[in-house]
Structure 1
Amino acid sequence: MTTANAAPASSFAPLRHVSFAVLWVATVLGNVGSFMRDVASSWLVTDLSASPTAVALIQTAATLPVFLLAIPAGVLSDILDRRRFLIFVQLVLAGVSASLMVLSHTGALTVEWLIALTFIGGIGGALMAPTWQAIVPELVPRADLKGAVALNSLGINIARAIGPALGGLLLASFGAGITYGADVASYVLVIGALLWWKRPAPADTGLSEDFLGAFRAGLRYARASTDLHRVMLRSAVFFLFASAVWALLPLVARQLLGGTAGYYGVLLGAVGAGAIAGALLLPRLRQRMGPDGLVLLASLLAAVVMLGLVLVRHQGLAVAFMLLLGLGWIVALTTLNGVAQSILPNWVRGRGLAVYLTVFNGAMAAGSLGWGLVAQLLGVPATLLVGAVGLVIVALLFHRVRLPSGEADLQPSNHWPEPLLAEPVAHDRGPVMIQVEYRIRKADRPAFLAALRRLSIERRRDGAYAWGITEHSADPERVMEWFLVESWAEHLRQHQRVSQADADLQAEAVRYHVGPGRPEVHHFLAL
């Protein structure tokens, strides 16, 4: 656990690494442009349609692609050259903003065009998000990884503080075309930084994955990882209810508070400013509360904001509420993202983060659409009241589902010996059955089986699609653990994936073995 005293020394340490610093600055500027674009789109839709559903659909169009495409994007981030992939995505996003610039300048922009281009931009965001997070370990040493993750969150919220206010100012002063044009310019800066970055070529192990194999491996890991399940559940519950304030904020600014486009930008800028304050306070809060307490605090703060916007309809106080929302939002986002990062090994980081982002953005998309439909029926004030009460209830109920500590050593252990081969085996041959034979005393069997079942989670996470335990009919002390892997190459990758924490689990099971030497391992190939 990072202490409050240690935080100032480590929080900005990643900026000492030139590659990280350059890309971090470029990302902040790129996110400023993205927030400017989002302000223009969110405000323009209220000019084009007064329907709450249409307004909420902009939020849905931005987040739904991440729900649909984050996992394939995570696979691509793990098997492609991440630098080139990011450059391609930035070009796509620049094309979206350029199209919005031309359509708004010519007066041809419609709700349909706005939603469609927002959806395409969401696709670009879906492809970029897991890849951008996955390159962080390539830019800084492991000791600075947590500081780099925190700095990325801080950078996003610096952009959130500047971008919306600047976007609202440009929109009110010069129109949507100039606002979208500024976003195009920001992508040019990011592309330049990516071209400057000379990414080291990854070592060729001869075990590169194809898309479908990597996709299946990522899903197997996500299905078997109970730690990831808990993070995803807590994320889904929080963002499903907290999305109400984001989906309806343009209508709150315009209808409940009588604000202009510039005022809407100020509200979003206040969220960013509150998030910066939250990022600075987070180390001290983390020391006092832990991740579970932080998520509960964030939920209560978001609920207070929703209630305050309805009960106190004052433009100045609404800005104060947005500061509070930003603080709560960064606490939840950084806490959940940090826990997700800490429980994922490097080999599946892109795919694991993609699954997490799928749940996060799926909850945001479903929540935005759902709250928009509820607002169509009940009105904006009543919908915010329902969202606030619901958020408090689920936050208290799910507080008992504890988040993982994230303290396990996930570095590869490389302790499995190379399999014995009579002759070379083709990488695509399979499936492969691995058998591990133990000799276990009858008195030790319950404890051994408990340890082995904990180990089975690791086997499934790292590549096994089936697992079981058998005993010899004539000699019950001979116990056989077996698991199936889809190919010989996948089993060799499994050798590279086993972590130090997994090695500890295996040692816990092996200590009950009383036979001569270590348990015997056999490999059988399908004919």
Structure 2
Amino acid sequence: MEAPVSRTQKLNARPSPYSPLRHGAFRAVWLAFLVSNLGGLIQSVGAAWLMTSLTGSAGLVALVQASTALPFMLFSLAAGAIADNYDKRAVMLVAQVFTIAVSVVLAGCTYFGLIIPWSLLIFTFLIGCGTAVNNPAWQSSVRDMVPRQDLPQAIALSGVSMNIARSVGPALGGVIVAIAGATAAFAVNAFSYLVLIVVLFRWRPQIQARRLPPESLGSAMGAGIRFVAMSPRIRIVLARTFVFGLAGSAVQALMPLVARDLVGGGPATFGLLFGAFGIGAIGGGLSSNHIRLALGTETMVRLSFIGFAGCSLGTAFSSNTPLTMVAMGLGGACWVLVLSSFNVAVLVSSPRWVAGRTLALFQMAVFGGIALGSGTWGLLAERFSISEALVLSALVHLLAVLIGLRWVLPDNKEVNLEPLNRWKHPSLSMEIEHRSGPIVITIDYQIREEDVREFLALMVERRRVRRRDGARHWHLLRDLAEPELWTERYDTPTWLDYIRQAQRITQADARIVDRLNELHRGAGPPQVRRRIERQPVSPPSEADDPHETDHDSTDPPQLPS
């Protein structure tokens, strides 16, 4: 008998958080994104502080963050569909070129004094659009850069990259704004994208040959929504992600006002607070695997919600810059611990064909919460006070802990979501094209009476998987004359949709397939029939004789006497 593995041995055997950096492609792109994120944070500081000089409205100041987050809520799903259907490297390049162009125009308009509050919000919105298109392609391409066992560490390091920039960028941005103004901050951001563009041009990923043509944008977006709707694990993660983004956005959206009004500082103080948040996030990112292994994912997430509530309360009641920086550090650590856990849970629950779309919906949940929360907390701060708005956000965090007791986060036990690859193209006696349809599929099973209960339980999962992968109008039928005969029936709009649906079955779904085959008692495997739906056509009547003269269309119809 093998000796039991101790907790110390488990901790010592865990993968290094830096292991993905051994892979050259990931390391180069990761460093390039670090530089790009650094420029983005400098730009964020410049935009937030410029808004405080353009207006005294707390609502407009908070909308700077909302305008950056809103594109993620609006366009992430489309961006994810594009990433899943086209070359991810090309998608990232287009997004970066667009973003650098907008950044250059923003810097120019600021230099010539053409910026007003609403035009600043438009520019930050457009920069957010470029980032929203880029991120699903980047996050889903991590699978192409590192082996399977390094995937959780690579995801954590992606968050660390952002938070290293978060720790240095705001402080550097505050100094740049204080010395040279917001124009310089915007110019630095524009140049930061050049490094990433060069690295992406040099990266040559191994692109898997596509066996099927790409889906249309609308169809691909619908498939992503359907997959998440039929995946309970992902639904729980996205719901809790939205709540966390909603509550956690208060601290970041109101941070310029905290620096100016609660601790009486300027742009440099704002940069220090932002940097403290980022330093805490780095610590949280690098220690996330250790904490998750020691406490479990759900416990870590609940404690992080409580910790972020403490950050909000500490910030609300502090008038001392160092004390507020400590609160910000705690908030940054909790922020990355929660979001990295949610990100990993989504990715390990998504097969490759839809990973970009599920990650896009994750982004929509995060930034949808941030966008809604930023505007809400800004209005509350304007209506009441900054401190009261922060206290309310802390209460929402504590309420979210109670929500977690009801909807527990699924564990990050990785399942094999690679294609099952058992489906073979059937031999057909008639010609059919990809657009032909609708296609009706029936599968006949012979099930003994004593196996019916287990069969029905398996069919619950079978229905979910079929509908998740694209089947429509799923039904289970039982023959009245032959009760042991059961028929599974569903349809797809076209023959191409049927092929997609059949090829999306994963290795993790094999348990259902294999057990159903075991329960089937007929001669040979369950019989599959594929039919194309056709509408009946009435035969031509005498009234339709083409040799007869047509009546004038203006004549009224003759009624029978």
Q: Same fold (TM over 0.5)?
A: yes
Q: Deviations over 1:280-303 (max 9, x none)?
A: 221221012222112211111110
Equivalence for 1:170: 176
Q: Deviations over 1:166-225 (max 9, x none)?
A: 111111111111111111111111101111112334303134322222222222212211
- Identify the match of residue 13 of structure 1 among 14, 19, 33: 19
Shift of residue 83 of structure 1? 1.2
Helix, strand or coil at the partner of 1:4: helix
User: Equivalent residues in 2 for 1:245-284 (5 A)?
Assistant: 245-284=251-290
Contact 1:78 1:351 in 2 (8 A): yes
Shift of residue 3 of structure 1? 4.7
Contact 1:270 1:319 in 2 (8 A): yes
User: 1:508 aligned to 2:493?
Assistant: no
The amino acid of 1:136's aligned partner reads: V
Contact 1:455 1:505 in 2 (8 A): yes
Distance, in Å, in 2 between the alignment partners of 1:415 and 1:206 is 17
Equivalence for 1:409: 416
Question: Larger RCO: Structure 1 or Structure 2 (Cα < 8 Å, ≥ 6 residues apart)?
Answer: 1
Distance, in Å, in 2 between the alignment partners of 1:164 and 1:273 is 11
User: 1:23 aligned to 2:29?
Assistant: yes
User: 1:395 aligned to 2:389?
Assistant: no
Contact 1:274 1:327 in 2 (8 A): yes
Helix, strand or coil at the partner of 1:426: coil
Q: TM-score, normalised by structure 1?
A: 0.97
Shift of residue 271 of structure 1? 1.0
Equivalence for 1:426: 433
Distance, in Å, in 2 between the alignment partners of 1:420 and 1:479 is 24
- Identify the match of residue 74 of structure 2 among 68, 83, 86: 68
Single out whichever of 154-163 and 404-413 deviates more from structure 2: 404-413
Equivalence for 1:298: 304
Q: TM-score, normalised by structure 2?
A: 0.91
Q: Deviations over 1:465-510 (max 9, x none)?
A: 3211011121111011112222211221223221111111222333
Equivalence for 2:525: 518
- Identify the match of residue 128 of structure 2 among 122, 127, 130: 122
Contact 2:447 2:520 in 1 (8 A): yes
Distance, in Å, in 2 between the alignment partners of 1:292 and 1:432 is 43
- Identify the match of residue 448 of structure 2 among 429, 437, 441: 441
The amino acid of 2:468's aligned partner reads: R
Q: Deviations over 1:123-179 (max 9, x none)?
A: 112111111111111112222222211111111111111111111111111111111
Distance, in Å, in 1 between the alignment partners of 2:341 and 2:162 is 15
Distance, in Å, in 1 between the alignment partners of 2:286 and 2:96 is 30
Helix, strand or coil at the partner of 1:11: coil
Helix, strand or coil at the partner of 2:16: helix
Q: Deviations over 1:222-273 (max 9, x none)?
A: 2211111111111112211111112211111111111110111111111111
Structure 2, unpaired ranges of 5+: 1-6, 535-561
The amino acid of 1:458's aligned partner reads: V
Q: Deviations over 1:317-364 (max 9, x none)?
A: 011111111110110111111111110000000111111111111111
Decide which structure has the larger Cα Rg and report it: 2
Helix, strand or coil at the partner of 1:10: coil
- Identify the match of residue 236 of structure 2 among 203, 213, 230: 230
Structure 1, unpaired ranges of 5+: none
Equivalence for 2:373: 367
Equivalence for 1:205: 211
Contact 1:3 1:284 in 2 (8 A): no
Equivalence for 2:222: 216
User: 1:485 aligned to 2:498?
Assistant: no
Distance, in Å, in 1 between the alignment partners of 2:499 and 2:526 is 19
The amino acid of 1:428's aligned partner reads: R
Contact 2:156 2:286 in 1 (8 A): no
Equivalence for 2:477: 470
Distance, in Å, in 2 between the alignment partners of 1:476 and 1:296 is 50
User: 1:328 aligned to 2:334?
Assistant: yes
Distance, in Å, in 2 between the alignment partners of 1:324 and 1:201 is 41
Contact 2:92 2:134 in 1 (8 A): yes
Distance, in Å, in 2 between the alignment partners of 1:402 and 1:455 is 24
The amino acid of 1:10's aligned partner reads: S
Distance, in Å, in 2 between the alignment partners of 1:103 and 1:474 is 79
The amino acid of 2:436's aligned partner reads: R
The amino acid of 1:519's aligned partner reads: P
The amino acid of 2:173's aligned partner reads: G
Distance, in Å, in 1 between the alignment partners of 2:218 and 2:122 is 29
Helix, strand or coil at the partner of 1:511: helix
- What count of residue pairs does the alignment treat as equivalent? 526
